């Protein structure tokens, strides 16, 4: 009987440790859980050295995936197939995701570094009280161009892009909201316009830009512009900053008809498996030294007031990348126009892309 009992204990112990071992393997292979942290961010939007530093400090293993538009990110998150612990949407996407119940509340007591964020970037209308999102980067959307390649011509407005002499010279990023917004602004409409006739007009105006459009691309836009494969790019400010460091013949303009002022914040999607780790990561990215290192690496503007002290003066005093409150007030933030209008923006943009082929 004794023998039988010890055999039973042995078998029980063995199966228990087997179960434990499988669990360990599962989590280290990235099935999510408390040893891993899964992050979903824009491409080229973090200094990889910071991921290593975070892993070292916390013992967590980071699984990192990227997207290149809010639309692509929202589709993936709402389908729920993949689960993420932290994601970095822009303001209108945050508002939409909140509406759809896709985000978890953030526990501010676990984010002490929140005190370093400039008040200007807190408590904005898309997320009052920052209940569901914490600032990461911010910026504008505008035109980067190579004056030398354009025979010395200067660009100051969206409407300049339709100049017939710029044939095959314009690169666009692949974002429905951004490109439709640019066309709306060029017509002096709001980039939050919901009037379908205006949206149609914007799409027709985009069709007229087609001869000048060389390609609609993702993050490779930076390489193409830096290598002078095209003279003009419609880009986010931080991408412009990064390529201007590489090629000094490039300049960035905020078009005079106005443009978009955007905010990208960190959120915890509802399907998150490591909520504690997500808070740790958000707090880590808000550490002023980490935030400064990240801003210097990617070229984007940090909302972290304390981090500005660690950044070169030429960068933080450059109105093109750190627009003053006065200038920023003249720019427009994307609003969430509701599901059907948003779908209409996407549809028109898709039609424009197909029209090119």
> What single-letter DSSP state applies at residue 81?
S
Report yes or no: 102 and 77 within 8 Å, Cβ to Cβ: yes
Distance from C-alpha of 148 to C-alpha of 126, rounded to nearest angstrom: 41
264 near ligand N2P, rule: CB under 6 A:
yes
44 near ligand N2P, rule: CB under 6 A:
yes
**173 phi, psi to nearest 5 deg:** -80, 155
**Which stretch, 43-51, 120-128, 142-150, 249-257, contacts ligand N2P (CB under 6 A)?**
43-51
Q: Least distance (Å) from ligand N2P to the CB of residue 83? A: 22
Nearer to ligand N2P, 45 or 349 (CB): 45
How many residues lie near ligand N2P (CB under 6 A)?
A: 10
State in Å, rounded, how far the first CA of the chain is from the last one. 80
When binding is defined by CB under 6 A, the residue of 67, 92, 236, 344 that contacts ligand N2P is 236
Show contacts of 222-228: CB within 8 Å, 24+ apart.
Answer: 222/44, 224/171, 225/144, 225/146, 225/171, 225/250, 226/250, 228/146, 228/149
Task: Write the burial class of residue 292 (CB in 10 Å: 0-12 exposed, 13-18 middle, 19+ buried).
Answer: buried
332 near ligand N2P, rule: CB under 6 A:
no
Position with the least CB separation from ligand N2P: 42
When binding is defined by CB under 6 A, the residue of 40, 42, 158, 345 that contacts ligand N2P is 42
Burial 143-176 (b: 16+ CB within 10 A, else e): bbbbeebbeeeebeebbbbeeeebeebbbbbbbb
Cβ-based neighbour number of residue 320 at 10 Å: 17
Helix (H, G, I), strand (E, B) or coil at 231: coil
Nearer to ligand N2P, 60 or 93 (CB): 93
**Which stretch, 42-50, 96-104, 153-161, 244-252, contacts ligand N2P (CB under 6 A)?**
42-50
Distance from C-alpha of 189 to C-alpha of 182, rounded to nearest angstrom: 10
**Which stretch, 39-47, 123-131, 146-154, 203-211, contacts ligand N2P (CB under 6 A)?**
39-47
When binding is defined by CB under 6 A, the residue of 7, 19, 30, 43 that contacts ligand N2P is 43
Nearer to ligand N2P, 90 or 280 (CB): 90
301 near ligand N2P, rule: CB under 6 A:
no
| Integer angstrom CA distances of residue 163 from 111, 153, 295 | 49, 11, 34
Report yes or no: 166 and 210 within 8 Å, Cβ to Cβ: no
When binding is defined by CB under 6 A, the residue of 26, 219, 251, 335 that contacts ligand N2P is 219
Q: Least distance (Å) from ligand N2P to the CB of residue 174? A: 11
Consult the annotation and say whether 252 binds a ligand: no
Q: Least distance (Å) from ligand N2P to the CB of residue 17? A: 45
54 near ligand N2P, rule: CB under 6 A:
no
- Give contact residues for ligand N2P (rule: CB under 6 A): 42-45, 90, 219, 236, 239, 262, 264
């Amino acid at each position: 009987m004794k023998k039988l009992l010890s055999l039973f204990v042995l078998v029980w112990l063995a199966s228990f440790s087997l179960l434990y071992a499988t669990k360990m393997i599962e989590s280290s292979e990235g099935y999510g859980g408390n040893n891993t942290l899964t992050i979903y961010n824009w491409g080229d939007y973090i200094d990889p050295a910071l991921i290593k530093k975070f892993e070292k400090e916390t013992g967590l293993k980071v699984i990192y995936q990227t997207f290149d538009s809010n639309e692509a990110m929202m589709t993936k998150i709402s389908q729920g197939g993949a689960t993420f612990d932290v994601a970095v949407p822009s303001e209108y996407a945050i508002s939409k995701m909140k509406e759809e119940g896709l985000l978890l509340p953030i526990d501010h007591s676990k984010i002490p570094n929140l005190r370093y964020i400039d008040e200007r970037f807190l408590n904005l209308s898309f997320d009052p009280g920052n209940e569901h999102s914490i600032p990461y980067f911010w910026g504008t959307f505008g035109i980067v161009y190579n004056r030398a390649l354009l025979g010395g011509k200067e660009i100051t407005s969206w409407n300049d892009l339709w100049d017939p002499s710029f044939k095959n010279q314009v690169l666009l990023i692949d974002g429905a909201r951004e490109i439709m917004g640019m066309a709306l602004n060029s017509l002096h409409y709001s980039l939050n316009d919901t009037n379908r006739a205006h949206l149609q007009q914007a799409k027709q105006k985009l069709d007229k830009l087609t001869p000048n459009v060389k390609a609609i691309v993702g993050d490779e836009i930076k390489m193409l512009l830096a290598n002078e494969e095209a003279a003009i790019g419609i880009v986010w400010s931080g991408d412009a900053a990064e390529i201007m460091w590489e090629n000094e013949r490039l300049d960035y303009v905020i078009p005079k008809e106005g443009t978009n002022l955007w905010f990208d914040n960190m959120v915890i999607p509802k399907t998150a498996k490591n909520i504690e780790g997500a808070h740790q990561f958000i707090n880590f990215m808000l550490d002023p030294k980490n935030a400064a290192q990240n801003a210097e690496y990617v070229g984007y503007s940090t909302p972290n007031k304390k981090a500005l002290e660690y950044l070169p003066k030429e960068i933080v005093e450059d109105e093109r990348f750190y627009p003053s409150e006065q200038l920023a007030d003249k720019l427009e933030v994307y609003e969430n126009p509701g599901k059907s209008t948003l779908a209409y923006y996407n549809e028109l943009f898709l039609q424009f892309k197909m029209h090119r082929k």
